[in-house]
Structure 1
Amino acid sequence: MGLIAELAAAYTYLVTNFDEFLKLLAEHLTLVLVSVALAIVVAVPMGILATRNERARAIVMSFGNVSQTIPTLAIIALVFPLLGLGFLPALVGLFTYALLPILTNTVAGLENVDESSVEAARGMGMTENQILRRIKLPLAVPVIFAGIRTSAVLNVGTAYLAFFIGGGGLGVWVITGISLFDTSQLLAGAIPGSLLAIGLDSLFAHVEGRLSGENEAEQSPAAG
């Protein structure tokens, strides 16, 4: 069967099972967005802590590196005895995998803020917490957002593994298609996931570009 015929068969399969497709796509997208949102809530404060205390930095960065190096399936296997099957253990695995890009970009963004801006703020009598809120974080937002973008795109692919513990998502079609040697079902699950990753990457790249442009516009008058 040629490529065109395989794509046509995949399209037919998707249309025929469109209600199931919408359900799996919603599960997949929920896994990605919720895991990344939770990673933001945890990783950004950890990154802030890492820039303020060298001892904390070593611990935080070690934790982040370990979370990235352990395969997602291994993380799922570790949480399975505690959380069982379903959405929650899959979410924990994806959340853990999403931490490092956001954590490292938070640290990099905060540490690369223009020191002259920080010194000017200190000269105005701002406290360290005020400098963090009003100077460092706003200037670091584009870099932090780049880490969020990376985590989201990575998790679109990683979320396919949720199938193995009953977490749902497009992996249901992809892995079942592999098991049954059903190319149409495999492609009907794989192609939408690829398009989802491209779409999220483009959306986040647009937002990231706007944030970078706004920061450059704010800094240019001061530089002048």
Structure 2
Amino acid sequence: MLNDLLHFVMTHANDIIVALEEHILLSLAAILIAAVIAIPLAITLMNYRRAGEVVLQIAGIIQTIPSLAVLGVLIPFVGIGTFPAIIALVLYAIMPIFQNTYAGLTQIDANLLEAAEAFGFSKYFKLFKIQLPLAMPLILSGLRIATVMIIGTATLAALIGGGGLGSFIMIGIQTNDNAQLLLGAILSAVLALAFSWLIKIIGKLSLKKMGILVGVAIILLGGYFTGKALTQPKGRIAIAGKLGGEPEILINMYKELIESDNAGLDVQLKPDFGGTTFIYKAIKSGDVDIYPEFTGTVLQNLIKGQTVSHQPEQAYLDARAALHEQADLEYLAPMRYQNTYALAVRQSDAKKYHLKTTSDLTKMSSQLTAGFDHDFYELKDSYPGMKKAYGLQFKDVKSMSSSLRYNALANGQIDVTDAYTTDPQLKADKLVTLVDDKKYFPPFQGAPLVRGDILKKYPSVKKSLERLNNKITNQDMINMNYQVTVQHKAADKVAHLYLKKHNLLK
């Protein structure tokens, strides 16, 4: 493990520095903005106890909302990237800073304040010479709590293209790369300790020096983010991919194909973007221009009231027409492989029970234990519907995390699990996928989903991407996924080798 971690650090030093810089800037901006909002608000409301309690309740309610839900709500309004991530982090940080500042200011001994009034001190003198200094230990405590919370939550910014250390954690989870996962976790913990130490040092300064330091930091951060926004290239295409090795392979193919035809075009990749909901909102809002999507996902999840054909050609045509009509998105020609659901068993059991199709499994299901991903187990059109269609009656059925089910199958804890037909674990663990002989599951062919205005602006993009039309077999994708997820090879190199081998590059 240590060798893998050191190897990754040495081979990805530049990526680590960039991610660390993004995480620091993101966290620092959120802390400063939250403090600038929460501390003056607490000062304003310290003499209005009823209003202060209301604000505390509101801040508490906001903090109970799952961070992913907040990010999902923000995308249609403010897009993706750093800005919505900062907004979400600020919302979470306000509660501890406001609560501690408000408590520190309202718990000061009333006799002390009465004595200050008796001496004729002004309210500003009382605030800056008595109240804030006495409340400072609690204020700093609130800042430290908010800092740890922000640095931890900021890892989710990677789901919406916000960058940061979360990219290593997400990729590590999806590809079972413990080196990346550990690196992201260690650096996040170190950052939290460093920020906490920095707040402790700042707490020793006078209020005047604190104010100057905060002001300079705000000006510098504001200038950085403004300059970054103004210097973004105009001729740019943003290609995003969902979590996992397979989407990352595909978007690297898209990038290389487009750039081979358009040398001057700037193509930006946003890998490990998150789930279908996030990425679909992003392409509709214009923050993402292209991403790979599957016909079954379009028909089942993105287009309401759409019937699902079990014929691949018809499913694609239905998905293309619906996307064009409802969202002005162009669904280009699909690839050959199908990344649909299937049931998987160990090779030894397939030979022992003569299992080739799901119907064969039905005869033996009462002797076997199944373990399914939570979504597959619960969604009506997954296991519950499949159970009814095939008459499956397993001895026992367990619901478990998707990352555990393959290990459970390999270790003999379960006998059957759900799989995507291009999962690399099928090759790594020598598993057999059973043929869906009743064609219960709809087709899941991958194809580039592109904004209509991008194809009008850059017509050659369509021709570039459609070089993948009817390319990439199931075995091709399993092999590429295996290289990225199990062997931890770089997705861009794996993608390049496939394109070069099949003469798809100019």
TM-score tier after normalising by the smaller chain length: 0.7 to 0.9
CA contact (8 A) 1:11 1:188 kept: no
Question: 1:101 and 2:96 equivalent?
Answer: yes
Candidates 19, 26, 43, aligned match of 1:24: 19
Counting only pairs closer than 5 Å after superposition, residues 53-68 of structure 1 correspond to structure 2 as 53-68=48-63
Aligned match of 2:182:
187
Point out 4+ residue stretches in structure 1 off by more than 6 angstroms: none
Secondary structure of the 1:25 match is helix
**CA deviation map 1:172-213 (0-9, x unaligned):** 1110111111111222222111222222233434555788xx
1:129 Cα deviation (Å)?
4.0
1:130 Cα deviation (Å)?
3.5
Aligned match of 2:315:
none
1:162 Cα deviation (Å)?
0.3
Q: Distance in 1 between matches of 2:123 and 2:60?
A: 28
Q: Distance in 1 between matches of 2:8 and 2:86?
A: 28
1:145 Cα deviation (Å)?
1.0
**Greater helix share, 1 or 2?**
1
Q: Distance in 2 between matches of 1:50 and 1:78?
A: 29
Aligned residues: 206
Q: Distance in 2 between matches of 1:55 and 1:127?
A: 24
Q: CA RMSD in A?
A: 1.8
**CA deviation map 1:51-84 (0-9, x unaligned):** 1113321321122112211121111111111011
Higher relative contact order (CA 8 A, sep 6+): 1
Q: Distance in 2 between matches of 1:30 and 1:206?
A: 19
Question: 1:124 and 2:124 equivalent?
Answer: no
AA at the equivalent of 2:34:
A
Cα 1:88/1:113, change in 2 over 3 Å: same
Q: Compare 156-165 and 63-72 and name the one that shifted more.
A: 63-72
1:114 Cα deviation (Å)?
3.0
- Which 5+ residue runs of structure 2 have no aligned equivalent? 207-506
1:17 Cα deviation (Å)?
0.5
Candidates 146, 152, 157, aligned match of 2:147: 152
CA contact (8 A) 1:27 1:169 kept: yes
Question: 1:163 and 2:130 equivalent?
Answer: no
Q: Distance in 1 between matches of 2:151 and 2:83?
A: 16
- Which 5+ residue runs of structure 1 have no aligned equivalent? 1-5, 212-224
**Higher radius of gyration, 1 or 2:** 2
Q: Distance in 2 between matches of 1:201 and 1:133?
A: 24
AA at the equivalent of 1:61:
L
AA at the equivalent of 1:147:
G
Secondary structure of the 2:46 match is helix
